[in-house]
Amino acid sequence: MVRVRYAPSPTGMPHVGNIRTALFNWVFARHHGGQFIVRIEDTDRNRYVEGSEAAILNSLRWLGLDWDEGPEVGGPHAPYYQSQRLEIYQRIAHQLVEEGKAYKCFCSQEELEQMRAQQRAEGAAVTMYDRRCRRLTPAEVKAREESGIPYVIRFKMPLEGTVEYEDLIHGRTVFQNKLTDDFVMLKSDGYPTYHLANVVDDHLMEVTHVLRGDEWISSMPRHLNLYMALGWEPPKFAHLPLLLGPDKQKLSKRHGDVEFTEFIRKGYLPEAMFNFLAICGWNPGDDREILTREEIIQLFSLERVSDNPFVFHHDKLLWMNGYYIRHLPKEELIERCIPFLQEAGLIPKELDAATRAYVEKVVPLEQEKMKLLSDAPKLLDFFFTDDYPIDEAAVRRWFGEPHIPQMLEELIRRYEALEPFTAPEIERVTREVIAWLGVKGGEVIHPTRVALSGRTTGPSLFEMIEALGKPRVLQRLRRAQSWIIR
């Protein structure tokens, strides 16, 4: 039975790279008919960010990544919050001390800083804990404990030898033990560090595969040695390629929009995000890139996960989102656009039947142009309000043309009498006006569009006129008469 886990730390808003890791774990579990566990690694009391856990869980739900064990749903290995499992880590840490595999370190922050400064002064490019407390005699330890000096528990890294493992993505990797210092397992506040808590929980929760970012590779000697010291069989490891910013640095806040909730807010579709995240470092082995969730689950394999870092460019995501929007059934598109139109204040929170019908008529007109659901308000504002931007340059371009006064007059006269007020009929009479004026189609169509929407681009004109409705059209055409430049 495959068991994987996503182990976020509630120290900030979730990040795309982080959610990508969650998605890979979820897909891997579902592919193998295994279980997906969510475990909250809230062991850093200083960096805890209120609300981030909810944001993380909501992001998973939004993407449709359901978890078999974890917060809210519980499970056989509860609790799934590390802050509620402190006794376990403490017990194990002290057990390792008793077995001589770990030791108490009484060095203060100041002392450590001093040590590092000293090492740097001596020309060391990198500092390493000098293991001074590892050499303390039992009597010295006892004395310090009795005088109440706070301590941490450090793991005794082997001073020589190597550890190696077979990474499911990178292959065999070897590390020299002497290069890693005696890392802290248990902090002086009694909380475990990532290394301890992670190893302990992955073992206790019977995790079979650890899929996490490449940045963790360098922690492998710690984790491997811990597993050995505890006499536990380590799970299989697969380190996923890092997501990079356009400058090839590890993706972070300074690269702009990387907060996952920001993508949700902007109007990306969950199915598009799911698809895109899945191909961030993975491919099905053929030319397909647009894949359904089912296809991804079915085709997923760690062998097809790339081992080179992935530069995250928004272009392609945006394209893919537009693709998914274009392929959305109309009713679906309408439902998803409504909240964005409400948010923009274009329609009320409570929709009456007439407004709803109007929305249903208008939204599909711009479906193919939308890249984001949040484009809807910008694209459609003039349908809902008279307070929309007017392209002044376009007005100057058209409203000095000699045929405009007559054109407006004719259009108003004919539209007013037109029944039914439908696109084909509107097109018919508009073309009559064009013929009557003896001008090219565009010379009527373009200025009319400007008169009705304030801009030079938009939906197909006749459909747009039908949707706007006769009263609004007449009112705007009359207003446009005041724009005429003589």
Partner RNA sequence: GACCCCAUGGUCUAGUGGUCUAGGACGCCUGGUUUUCAGCCAGGAGGACGGGGGUUCGAAUCCCCCUGGGGUCACCA
Catalytic residues: 253
Q: Does 184 sit near RNA (CB under 7 A)? A: yes
- State which residue, 173 or 342, has the beta carbon closest to RNA: 173
Angle at Cα 15 formed by Cα 12 and Cα 21, nearest 5°? Answer: 120
Q: Interacting stretch for RNA, rule CB under 7 A, among 140-148, 337-345, 452-460, 474-482?
A: 452-460
Report helix, strand or coil for 172. Answer: strand
**Binding test (CB under 7 A) with RNA, winner from 424, 442, 469, 471:** 442
Lay out the site mask for RNA across 199-238 (x = CB under 7 A, - = otherwise).
Answer: ---------------xxxxxx-------------------
- State which residue, 348 or 442, has the beta carbon closest to RNA: 442
Report helix, strand or coil for 15. Answer: strand
- State which residue, 261 or 306, has the beta carbon closest to RNA: 306
- State which residue, 77 or 342, has the beta carbon closest to RNA: 77
User: CB neighbours of 469 closer than 8 A, spacing ≥ 6?
Assistant: 421
Nearest of 384, 327, 368, 344 to residue 458 by alpha carbon: 368
Q: Does 95 sit near RNA (CB under 7 A)? A: no
Residues of this chain, 347-406, that bind RNA according to CB under 7 A: 368-369
Question: What Cα–Cα distance (Å) separates residue 369 from each residue in 267, 324, 327?
Answer: 14, 12, 12
Distance of alpha carbon 347 from alpha carbon 123, whole angstroms? 67
Minimum CB separation of residue 317 from RNA in Å reads 8
Report helix, strand or coil for 168. Answer: coil
- State which residue, 285 or 345, has the beta carbon closest to RNA: 285
Q: Evaluate whether 224 touches 251 at the Cβ level (below 8 Å).
A: no
Q: Does 287 sit near RNA (CB under 7 A)? A: yes
Q: Partners of 259 in the beta sheet?
A: 15
Strands lying side by side in the sheet with 171-176: 35-38, 3-6, 209-213, 236-240, 162-167, 171-176
Distance of alpha carbon 64 from alpha carbon 293, whole angstroms? 10
Helices (H), 135-269: 138-146, 194-204, 220-230, 260-266
Minimum CB separation of residue 100 from RNA in Å reads 21
Residues of this chain, 105-124, that bind RNA according to CB under 7 A: 107-109, 112
Report helix, strand or coil for 265. Answer: helix
Minimum CB separation of residue 237 from RNA in Å reads 12
User: How many residues appear in the chain?
Assistant: 486
**Binding test (CB under 7 A) with RNA, winner from 93, 97, 163, 244:** 244
Residues of this chain, 123-162, that bind RNA according to CB under 7 A: 125-129, 150, 152
Lay out the site mask for RNA across 28-47 (x = CB under 7 A, - = otherwise).
Answer: -------------x-xx-xx
Minimum CB separation of residue 458 from RNA in Å reads 5
Question: What Cα–Cα distance (Å) separates residue 222 from each residue in 181, 232, 266?
Answer: 9, 14, 40
Q: How many residues bind RNA (CB under 7 A)?
A: 87
Distance of alpha carbon 199 from alpha carbon 39, whole angstroms? 13
Minimum CB separation of residue 138 from RNA in Å reads 21
- State which residue, 176 or 356, has the beta carbon closest to RNA: 176
Residues of this chain, 293-352, that bind RNA according to CB under 7 A: 303-304, 306-311, 313, 315-316, 319, 322-323, 326
Minimum CB separation of residue 221 from RNA in Å reads 8
